C-alpha cells in the first residue's frame, strides 16, 4: 500500500553512539515503508555497527568517507544532498551536534548537512550529563535556530549505567517526527480536543456495561492531528492502545467522568471531535459490594447519561464556541440518522460509520465513513485505513474553519 514514505529520498546520518543499533532498526523500518534510504556513517559509527549491516538493511550503498569514488560526475556530497527529501541524523552525539552547530565540514556527514536543502531532523543520544551540559544545550538551540527539528531524547537507563535523560527515542516516536516532517502543519495554531474509546458504567466493583469501541478511530485522529501540528487533548475511555507521542492524555472510565473532563477543557479548544462511543445509560445505583448470585432474576434500573455533545451544541448557540464534530455509529438508515443528529446536536460536521459493515466499525483497522457538514453537504469516503480516514476528516475540518 502506498504511504507518505513511499519513494521518499531520505539521507540518514549515523554518528558514533551505542544507540547505532536502534538507528539500524529505523533504517529497516523506513526501507520496509518503501522509502529510499541512503546512509552516511561517521568513522566512529562504523566501530559500533559495520556499514555492511546497514547496507544489507537499506539495500543500498552506505557512504563513510569524503573521497569515495562516486557513480556520477558530481562530488558525492553535492549529489547526495541535492537529491534528498529529508535528512535524519540519528543517533546524534554531543560531538556531531557541536560540529553541526558551528558549521564544520571535516567529514562527509557534516559536509552533507551544509550542502543539503531538505528539512533536517536531529535525534540526540548521549549520557545525561553530556546532554544537560550548557554547551550541548546551547548547540541544540543553535540547530533549532537553523530550522532543524530537534527531537528530545527519553528518560531511562542509559548504556553507561546512569539513569536519566539521553536515551535515543524509540521507533514509534521517531516515526511520528518523520511523518510530521512530511505533513502540512495546517493545525499548528489549533488546539483540538478529541474523545475516544468506550465508557464503562459499573454495577458493582467487579462488573460494568460497555460497548465494543476499541478507540482506534479517535486515537488515529489524535495521532494525525498531532502530526499536522495541533496541540491535542485526548480524553480516552478504557483502551488497549498506546497514546500517540506528544498527545496530552486524560484517562477516564465512565461517561460522567468523560463529561467532566470535556467540560473542564473544551474552552481551551478550537475544535472538539467526539469520536468516543459514550454509553447512553448507566446503572441507577452502583453497589459497593459485589452482587451475589441468588438464582433469582434481578431488576437493574438504568438512568440516562448526560449527552456531552448535545450540551456543547447548546452552548454553541449562545456564544462563539469551538467547531463541533460528532460521530454517528449506525447499523441502518445511516444518512437520515446522521442528518438528524447533526441538527439536534447543533454540529458543524458529523462522521457516520457503519458498525455492521465488513471492514468498518468497531475494532477494524479500516473504516468507510460519510461526512455531512453544517450545510448538509454529503461526502462519501471510500474504504480507508483509520489514519487515512482521520486525515480526510481533518481536511474537511480545515475547509470548515476557513
Ligand atoms: O446520539 P448518539 O449517541 O448516537 O450520538 C453520537 C455522538 O454523540 C458521538 O459523537 C458521541 O461521542 C456523542 N455522545 C455524547 N454523549 C453521550 C452520547 C453520545 O457526547 N452521552
Q: What is the mean pLDDT of the chain?
A: 94
Single out the catalytic residue among 132, 160, 302, 378: 160
Q: Which atom of ligand 1 is nearest to the CA of 337?
A: 4
Is residue 293 included in any domain, yes or no? no
* Residue of minimum CA distance from atom 19 in ligand 1: 278
- Which three-class secondary structure state does DSSP give residue 315? helix
With b for 16 or more beta-carbon neighbours within 10 A and e for fewer, the 2-34 pattern comes to eebbeebbbbbbbbbbebbebbbebbbbbbebe
Residues of the chain with pLDDT > 70, as a percent, come to 98
Residues 80 and 150 in one domain: yes
**pLDDT tens digits, residue range 214-231?**
999 999 999 999 999 999
Res. 364 pLDDT band, cuts 50 70 90 = confident
Asked if pLDDT for residue 283 goes beyond 70, the answer is: yes
* Residue of minimum CA distance from atom 16 in ligand 1: 307
The pLDDT of residue 72 is 52
Is residue 292 included in any domain, yes or no? no
**pLDDT tens digits, residue range 137-186?**
999 999 999 999 999 999 998 888 888 999 999 999 999 999 999 999 99
**Residue 318 CA, ligand 1 centroid: distance in Å:** 20
Residues 80 and 126 in one domain: yes
Domain count, the chain: 2
**pLDDT tens digits, residue range 296-350?**
898 989 999 999 999 999 999 888 889 999 999 888 899 999 999 999 999 999 9
Please state, in angstroms and rounded to a whole number, the distance separating the CA atoms of residues 346 and 394: 19
Q: Confirm whether 389 is a catalytic residue.
A: no
DSSP 78-105: HHHHHH-SEEEEEEEPHHHHHHHHTT--
pLDDT mean over 19-44: 97
What letter does residue 106 receive in the DSSP assignment?
Answer: S
Question: Pocket residues for ligand 1 (CB within 6 Å)?
Answer: 195, 255, 274, 276, 278, 280, 305, 307-309, 326-328, 341
Is residue 29 included in any domain, yes or no? yes
The pLDDT of residue 69 is 66
**Residue 239 CA, ligand 1 centroid: distance in Å:** 18
Residues 328 and 397 in one domain: yes
**Residue 244 CA, ligand 1 centroid: distance in Å:** 23
Is residue 1 included in any domain, yes or no? no
Asked if pLDDT for residue 74 goes beyond 60, the answer is: no
The pLDDT of residue 286 is 92
Range of the domain at 150: 9-182
**Residue 325 CA, ligand 1 centroid: distance in Å:** 10
**Which CATH number goes with the domain that contains 34?**
3.40.50.1950
**pTM, to two decimals:** 0.92
Is residue 53 included in any domain, yes or no? yes
Strand locations in 111-221, DSSP E? 119-124, 149-150, 154-157, 163-167, 191-196, 201-204, 207-209
Is residue 291 included in any domain, yes or no? no
Amino acid at each position: 500500500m502506498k504511504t507518505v514514505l513511499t519513494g521518499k529520498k531520505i539521507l540518514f546520518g549515523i554518528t558514533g553512539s551505542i544507540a547505532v543499533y536502534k538507528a539500524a532498526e529505523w533504517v529497516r523500518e523506513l526501507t520496509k515503508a518503501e522509502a529510499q534510504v541512503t546512509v552516511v556513517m561517521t568513522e566512529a559509527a562504523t566501530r559500533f555497527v559495520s556499514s555492511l549491516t546497514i547496507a544489507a538493511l537499506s539495500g543500498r550503498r552506505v557512504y563513510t568517507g569524503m573521497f569515495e569514488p562516486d557513480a556520477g560526475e558530481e562530488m558525492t556530497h553535492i549529489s547526495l544532498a541535492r537529491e534528498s527529501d529529508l535528512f535524519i541524523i540519528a543517533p546524534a552525539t554531543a560531538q556531531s551536534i557541536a560540529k553541526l552547530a558551528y558549521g564544520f565540514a571535516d567529514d562527509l556527514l557534516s559536509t552533507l548537512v551544509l550542502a543539503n536543502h531538505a528539512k533536517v531532523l536531529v535525534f540526540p543520544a548521549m549520557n545525561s550529563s553530556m546532554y544537560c551540559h550548557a554547551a550541548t544545550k546551547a548547540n541544540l538551540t543553535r540547530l533549532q535556530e537553523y530550522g532543524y527539528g530537534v527531537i528530545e531524547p527519553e528518560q531511562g537507563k542509559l548504556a553507561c549505567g546512569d539513569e536519566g535523560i539521553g536515551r535515543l527515542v524509540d521507533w514509534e516516536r521517531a516515526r511520528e517526527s518523520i511523518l510530521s516532517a512530511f505533513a502540512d502543519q495546517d493545525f499548528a495554531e489549533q488546539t483540538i480536543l478529541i474523545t475516544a474509546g468506550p465508557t464503562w458504567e459499573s454495577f458493582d466493583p467487579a462488573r460494568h456495561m460497555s460497548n465494543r469501541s476499541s478507540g482506534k478511530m479517535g486515537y488515529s485522529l489524535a495521532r494525525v492531528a498531532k502530526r499536522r501540528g495541533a496541540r491535542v487533548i485526548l480524553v480516552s475511555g478504557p483502551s488497549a492502545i498506546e497514546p500517540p507521542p506528544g498527545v496530552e492524555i486524560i484517562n477516564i472510565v465512565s461517561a460522567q467522568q468523560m463529561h467532566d473532563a470535556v467540560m473542564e477543557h473544551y474552552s481551551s479548544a478550537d475544535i472538539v471531535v467526539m469520536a468516543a462511543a459514550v454509553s447512553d445509560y448507566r446503572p441507577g445505583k452502583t453497589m459497593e459490594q459485589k452482587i451475589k448470585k441468588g438464582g433469582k432474576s434481578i431488576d437493574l434500573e438504568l438512568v440516562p447519561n448526560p449527552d456531552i455533545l448535545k450540551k456543547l451544541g447548546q452552548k454553541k448557540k449562545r456564544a462563539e464556541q469551538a467547531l463541533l464534530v460528532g460521530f454517528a455509529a449506525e447499523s441502518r438508515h445511516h444518512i437520515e440518522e446522521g442528518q438528524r443528529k447533526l441538527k439536534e446536536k447543533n454540529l458543524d460536521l458529523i462522521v457516520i460509520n457503519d458498525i455492521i459493515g465488513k471492514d468498518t466499525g468497531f475494532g477494524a483497522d479500516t473504516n468507510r465513513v460519510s461526512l455531512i457538514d453544517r450545510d448538509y453537504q454529503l461526502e462519501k469516503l471510500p474504504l480507508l485505513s483509520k489514519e487515512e480516514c482521520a486525515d480526510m476528516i481533518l481536511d474537511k475540518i480545515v475547509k470548515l474553519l476557513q
